[in-house]
């Protein structure tokens, strides 16, 4: 079983660098996949209110039979809860669906700047952290302007979960993460619609290292210092995604991958999209 590397959170805990994404699994799929993934060695499980599978994720956690303290569970809440009291209710709702006593990480799923209440939402997160219902707090899909607004209120998320892969290197955002000692987590770390997995550079590197293109991409995330949460349900893919800690990409090959960025007109824009 591979040993997954960890990153230190500002609040003192540790988050595994590799986890399991659960979108778009339904409750039944989530229950089966989460249990299998935990047995394979996964310890970070990522879900969200909007995925509508927290009940299944919780069932998978119980079925796996692993001590709760060994797991790192992340969820996220929707825009209707963007207030101090609302965030507390969202947290309690998620805990009830998951049947857990606390969350390791709770995130504002989207900033929804047109609603203008994500600062209140972050205040709610700080209160939950003080109460002990949540160990670590952060944001998802926040752009530099949204983070700067939080900074004006002396609020610094511990982690920002964003769309990130070699095609989407997010160079406009990562320097700010680094300057604030924020952890960067990647959703869809293997790219979307499979295009990245068939890139000629990836195919060549996979052949050179005797790994799959997905393993090369995930290794790039690990060496870049990111958290990656690929979605997988096939037992072979679950195992392959974990098997990335026995090789190292050269500096040259890391640079090759980091130079694959390109414009994407279909990329979701958190200035206008959010739930």
Active site residues: 51
Backbone CA torsion sign across 206, 208, 211, 215: negative
Hunting for tokens 């392959």 — which residue is that? 240
Q: Per-residue DSSP letters for 171-231?
A: TTTHHHHHHTTPEEEEESTT-STTTGGG-HHHHHHHHHHTS-HHHHHHHHHHHHT-EE--B
Strand 14-16 relative to strand 6-8, pairing: antiparallel
- CB count in 10 Å sphere of residue 265: 4
CA–CA gap between residue 64 and residue 273 (Å, rounded): 35
Terminal Cα-to-Cα distance of the chain (whole angstroms): 37
Is the distance from CB of 263 to CB of 237 less than 8 angstroms? no
User: For the stretch 152-166, what's the b/e string if a residue is b when 16 or more beta carbons lie within 10 angstroms of its beta carbon?
Assistant: eeebebbbbbbbbbb
Asked if residue 129 lies in contact with residue 159, where contact means CB atoms within 8 angstroms, the answer is no
Residues 6+ apart with CB under 8 A from 259: none
């Amino acid at each position: 079983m591979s040993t997954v590397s960890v990153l230190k959170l500002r609040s003192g805990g540790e988050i595994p660098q590799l986890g399991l994404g659960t979108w778009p699994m339904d409750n039944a799929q989530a229950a089966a996949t989460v249990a299998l993934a935990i047995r394979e060695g996964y310890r970070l499980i990522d879900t969200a209110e909007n995925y509508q599978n927290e009940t299944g994720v919780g069932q998978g956690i119980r079925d796996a039979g692993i001590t709760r303290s060994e797991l790192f569970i992340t969820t996220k809440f929707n825009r209707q809860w963007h207030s101090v009291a609302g965030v507390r209710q969202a947290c309690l709702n998620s805990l009830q669906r998951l049947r857990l006593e606390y969350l390791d990480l709770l995130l504002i799923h989207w900033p929804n700047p047109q609603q203008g209440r994500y600062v209140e939402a972050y205040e709610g997160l700080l209160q939950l952290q003080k109460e002990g219902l949540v160990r670590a707090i952060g944001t998802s899909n926040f752009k530099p302007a949204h983070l700067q607004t939080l900074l004006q209120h002396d609020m610094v998320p511990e982690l920002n979960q964003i769309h990130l892969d070699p095609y989407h290197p997010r160079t406009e955002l990562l320097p700010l993460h680094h300057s604030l000692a924020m952890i960067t987590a990647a959703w869809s770390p293997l790219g979307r619609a499979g295009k990245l997995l068939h890139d000629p550079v990836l195919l060549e590197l996979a052949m050179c290292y005797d790994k799959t293109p997905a393993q090369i991409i995930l290794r790039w995330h690990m060496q870049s210092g990111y958290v990656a949460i690929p979605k997988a349900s096939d037992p072979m893919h679950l195992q392959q995604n974990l098997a990335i800690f026995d090789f190292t990409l050269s500096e040259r090959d890391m640079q090759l991958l980091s130079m694959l960025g390109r414009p994407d007109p279909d990329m979701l824009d958190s200035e206008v999209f959010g739930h």
